[in-house]
Structure 1
């Protein structure tokens, strides 16, 4: 860089300083632009990115089912032996890929909707067919005594169970256990009642909801937060805060924007009739989109002795009676009194008094925990895995021959599920172009301006002082 006019060098230095300052100024300005854009696009109303991603899932949601096949059925039924279980699966179904239904915007900045329930078997993603059979707990025989505790009724029940040739265990197909079958014992009951039973019966053709959530139009920090579920803000199942549906809880599909790593993300799951929460675990990259992974921690399922806040999930019908067990949630109150317990797969995080009544299970954190991968700026869930195990409580019932050999009450696993979804390529491309790319471009522009401006400033200012020094030396020599 030659020594021309000093004013030119100073002009270059000033220009570099201006560029650097402008690049620095773009940081808060860029944040303001991003915030303003997100606040506009994260509102759940027609025409926004949030609405487009909210109405239809970003990709098909799949549920993989693993069933527990009893390897020693005769010993279990005749001697009350511990069940030896073998996992069979996965059997995969495509779920909830349809748009939300009955979407209604309300004047109080909320939007209500229903989630359609649909399950389509995916043979290419399964180990066999829906007609595959296995030996499992008899849903009707085990559940009925919990619903009808009167001694005379149980004596009559025993007669009907024997005449229908039903037992504590049964052999059923994948399709029957999941979606329902006509039970031979219930067919003999002389009163009008539902004869079909199944873990998820009825499902196809039904809907989950009505959900009503804030759309974020008046307050972006409330976006997707549940106002009510089935027109109620509580479940009327649990005690205190455990019964709440509203209050910073979403349905898990999205959260208010600008998610921080130190946040606790709370979401409601109708499958387990309760709210749950996730804490930050790690950073992830999915289809070139940076995400925050939040996992459901062990503390969420811990005994109240370890996590006192869980005391409000205790019920009078709790498995452990004094509610000191960990890892098992009694949801019979929202299953019409049926003794259904929810755990994590393979009794992950469960205490020994829950897990030591069966053999063959191997809990593994990586395979059996639940996680949500959240895009932090928008709060959208772009990948998730929800893992749950469905169990029935079996109890010794002296008046019912099929259940008289049970030695002590315990939780009997039926199946576990892994519900997963990952944003598809089309929506990932849209997301990158409309959200990630503008943010990256703005950040790149900030960095380039700061670096180029700083280099220009330093180069021109150094050149200026070198030229000034050379001029001073030339004057000294000419004298």
Structure 2
């Protein structure tokens, strides 16, 4: 198991909620009727329009993957050359087609559930087949350095030699994404000898969520009360960084204000994060507010002091001055995993310039949410994330002897997208306009 449960948030295209405002009710009748209607039908409890469509996502959600193919593996390992990579993809999967599971109504106006994970390959939306081969970083070989104490790195080197392991490997897209049996892990008798960037995935979930139903206060609807039965995280040992803030980003409480940040919790990055209003957009003739994850969200603690508690390895991240990356080994079984935006968008120059083939572009690589402000629904989303593995020089491990400095090496980036379907968009247009 390498980077389990790195998964994006669901999209709440709750078609039924739209019905509550069909027929031009919003503008002709007035604010009180709007509020009363939302108070009634926006609550997450059986019998409401919101509940029926909250259980399962209505519109299709896709996850596109781009993997980084290494063009000079021998030069990197043998001569410490600057890595050269090229992205391959997209490889597209449909996700979120399964309904929420283990739904329980609680006494404190919350509802608990799990969201099962599934991914179905979409050949017609992909640049190639799952059998395409990629020269990629050897996950186990690069990670063992951080997983095991330095005192036994000599033994690690012995096992790597016995397994004839290199710092890089040639694998299929399916193997890298969803898992393969690793000869190194088999040799050292790990309990689970499978590894992969997203292994395990199908048939799993990221745990139990408790969210407010909004019955006692519609301003709290969909806000997370607990995750994994806890009010706070336990990863960061800090009261601020361990807060669970906001929703899961699929929807927000109604009447979204463009002057306020939208907070959401993401188990895949082990923290809460925020998005800021950028501009108005028109989506299928529906006015929406675009919120984006800004540079400050992943900035270094020098630029954003609130992020001080997310830096856990000062020696690697240049005394916590590097920005644009987030080390999540504290919640991923000590694996040296670092999260960033794709192509290290907004990251420090030292990180971006360390690898050739990295080309950050705001238009392609930023994360955004298009939210309909009256209902709080996220009608379009592009949630983008890159998974990187860090490795360092080592005098005892041969495959790392020529590495000159700690390297944040990109493995893959993904874009989870979804857009309100035409039928639902038509309902919105009819209900949010004056006849």
Q: TM-score, normalised by structure 1?
A: 0.83
The alignment status of 1:165 with 2:164, answered yes or no, reads yes
* Partner Cα distance (2:27, 2:333) in 1: 56
- Spell out, residue by residue over 1:110-168, the C-alpha distance to the aligned partner (whole angstroms, 9 max, x if none): 000101100111110001100101111110001011010242x3222211111111111
- Equivalent residue, structure 2, for 1:11: none
- Spell out, residue by residue over 1:400-458, the C-alpha distance to the aligned partner (whole angstroms, 9 max, x if none): 111111111110011111010111233334x42xxx534434xx5xxxxxxxxxxxxxx
Please show how residues 299-310 of structure 1 align to structure 2 within 5 Å: 299-310=296-307
* Partner Cα distance (1:256, 1:108) in 2: 18
* Partner Cα distance (1:61, 1:362) in 2: 26
The alignment status of 1:147 with 2:144, answered yes or no, reads no
- Equivalent residue, structure 2, for 1:182: 181
- 5+ residue gaps, structure 2, are 1-25
Runs of 4+ that moved beyond 4 A: 26-29
CA shift, 1:33, in A, is 1.0
- Equivalent residue, structure 2, for 1:221: 219
**Match for 1:388 among 378, 385, 389?**
385
- Spell out, residue by residue over 1:43-78, the C-alpha distance to the aligned partner (whole angstroms, 9 max, x if none): 111232322332111312111011111111110111
Distance 1:110 1:195, change over 3 A: same
RMSD: 1.6
**Match for 1:415 among 392, 396, 412?**
412
Distance 1:57 1:318, change over 3 A: farther
- Equivalent residue, structure 2, for 1:132: 132
**Match for 2:202 among 180, 201, 204?**
204
- Equivalent residue, structure 1, for 2:108: 108
- Equivalent residue, structure 1, for 2:424: 427
Q: Is the 8 A contact 2:40 2:48 kept in 1?
A: yes
Distance 1:290 1:27, change over 3 A: closer
* Partner Cα distance (2:169, 2:432) in 1: 58
* Partner Cα distance (1:268, 1:439) in 2: 29
Give the aligned length: 409
* Partner Cα distance (1:288, 1:278) in 2: 23
CA shift, 1:187, in A, is 1.2
- Equivalent residue, structure 2, for 1:55: 55
* Partner Cα distance (1:111, 1:421) in 2: 25
Please show how residues 66-465 of structure 1 align to structure 2 within 5 Å: 66-151=66-151, 153-189=152-188, 191-238=189-236, 239-246=238-245, 249-316=246-313, 319-429=316-426, 431-432=427-428, 437-441=430-434
* Partner Cα distance (1:400, 1:84) in 2: 22
* Partner Cα distance (2:316, 2:396) in 1: 21
Q: Is the 8 A contact 1:59 1:422 kept in 2?
A: yes
Q: Is the 8 A contact 2:27 2:432 kept in 1?
A: no
Q: Secondary structure at the match of 2:269?
A: coil
Q: Which has the higher helix share?
A: 1
Q: TM-score, normalised by structure 2?
A: 0.91
- Equivalent residue, structure 1, for 2:9: none
CA shift, 1:231, in A, is 0.5
Q: Is the 8 A contact 2:367 2:382 kept in 1?
A: yes
* Partner Cα distance (1:103, 1:276) in 2: 26
* Partner Cα distance (2:178, 2:353) in 1: 29
- Equivalent residue, structure 2, for 1:465: none
Q: Secondary structure at the match of 1:293?
A: strand
Q: Which protein shows a greater Rg?
A: 1
- Spell out, residue by residue over 1:184-231, the C-alpha distance to the aligned partner (whole angstroms, 9 max, x if none): 111111x45211111110001111220000000000110000000011
Q: Is the 8 A contact 2:212 2:221 kept in 1?
A: yes
- 5+ residue gaps, structure 1, are 1-25, 445-479
Q: Secondary structure at the match of 1:207?
A: coil
CA shift, 1:308, in A, is 1.2
* Partner Cα distance (1:346, 1:403) in 2: 24
CA shift, 1:30, in A, is 0.6
Distance 1:261 1:73, change over 3 A: same
Q: Is the 8 A contact 1:234 1:243 kept in 2?
A: yes
Distance 1:27 1:77, change over 3 A: closer
- Equivalent residue, structure 2, for 1:4: none
Q: Is the 8 A contact 2:119 2:202 kept in 1?
A: yes
* Partner Cα distance (1:395, 1:74) in 2: 17
* Partner Cα distance (1:234, 1:139) in 2: 31
Q: Secondary structure at the match of 1:82?
A: coil
